[in-house]
Chain A
Amino acid sequence: ETAVFQTPNYHVTQVGNEVSFNCKQTLGHDTMYWYKQDSKKLLKIMFSYNNKQLIVNETVPRRFSPQSSDKAHLNLRIKSVEPEDSAVYLCASSSTGPDTQYFGPGTRLLVL
């Protein structure tokens, strides 16, 4: 099956903890992305990663960091979560250039 896979589906944690979310795509794409969807359902880009080049949205706090072992994997680590990090995190992939992006099912994070 070719798609974008994310784990976990759902994660509950406490303020100050570290969390890590996984994303894998089997579509043969060379660009991957992380988006955040907040409580108002607005989707915003956090990172894009292509051929080891990381493009960071300047509004993303430093406690967030992407981690990639190869072009099929892009994980997201949050060093010390805060309540405003509660959201759905969506991973996506595409070929280089203005190509269709395909999304994973998302990871819902709840910070208590």
Chain B
Amino acid sequence: GQQVQQSPASLVLQEGENAELQCNFSSTATQLQWFYQSPGGSLVSLLSNPSGTKHTGRLTSTTVTKERRSSLHISSSQTTDSGTYLCAMDQGGRALIFGTGTTVSVSP
């Protein structure tokens, strides 16, 4: 079936360091979305990026559709970036299929 794999499973950073999160998906995606889930549980959409490169603040997402992969780059990490980052794909207007997430912990 359709699968979304994320790596690494967890990441520990010192404040100020950069991070690169990876997402690989098993079939062609018409939508690729990155989410942040806080330790409290709320889910926030960071970027929708089915192809190419998109930026928002300190975040950059690059999706190579034909290679079925996407990355999320966090630059100059801050303690408030701690939480879980989820990648999700959609195959054409249907529901999102989520990866298992990367848990990021940023220490001061």
Using CB atoms and an 8 Å cutoff, list the residues of chain A in contact with chain B. Answer: 31, 33, 35, 40-45, 48, 55, 57, 88, 90, 92, 96-103, 105-106, 108
A90 CB contacts on chain B under 8 angstroms: 43
Cβ contact within 8 Å between B41 and A103: no
Cβ contact within 8 Å between A96 and B33: no
| Closest B residue by C-beta to A57 | B95
Residue among A48, A90, A101, A106 with max Cβ neighbours from chain B (10 Å): A101
The 8 Å CB contact of A33, one of B92, B95, B101, is: B95
| Closest B residue by C-beta to A97 | B93
Residue among B43, B86, B94 with max Cβ neighbours from chain A (10 Å): B43
Cβ contact within 8 Å between A106 and B43: yes
Q: A42-B100, A98-B30, A98-B50 are in contact. Are A103 and B43 (CB under 8 A)?
A: yes
Distance (Å) between the CB of A7 and the closest chain B CB?
15
Cβ contact within 8 Å between B45 and A102: yes
Cβ contact within 8 Å between A100 and B100: no
A35 CB contacts on chain B under 8 angstroms: 95-96
Cβ contact within 8 Å between A42 and B31: no
The 6 nearest A-B residue pairs measured at CB: A45-B95, A98-B31, A98-B30, A43-B98, A103-B43, A100-B48
Distance (Å) between the CB of A108 and the closest chain B CB?
8
Cβ contact within 8 Å between A101 and B45: yes
Q: A101-B45, A105-B42 are in contact. Are A96 and B93 (CB under 8 A)?
A: yes
A interface footprint on B44-69 (CB within 8 Å = 1, 0 otherwise): 11001010000000000000000000
Distance (Å) between the CB of B106 and the closest chain A CB?
19
Say yes or no: is B15 at the interface (Cβ < 8 Å to chain A): no
Cβ contact within 8 Å between A99 and B31: yes
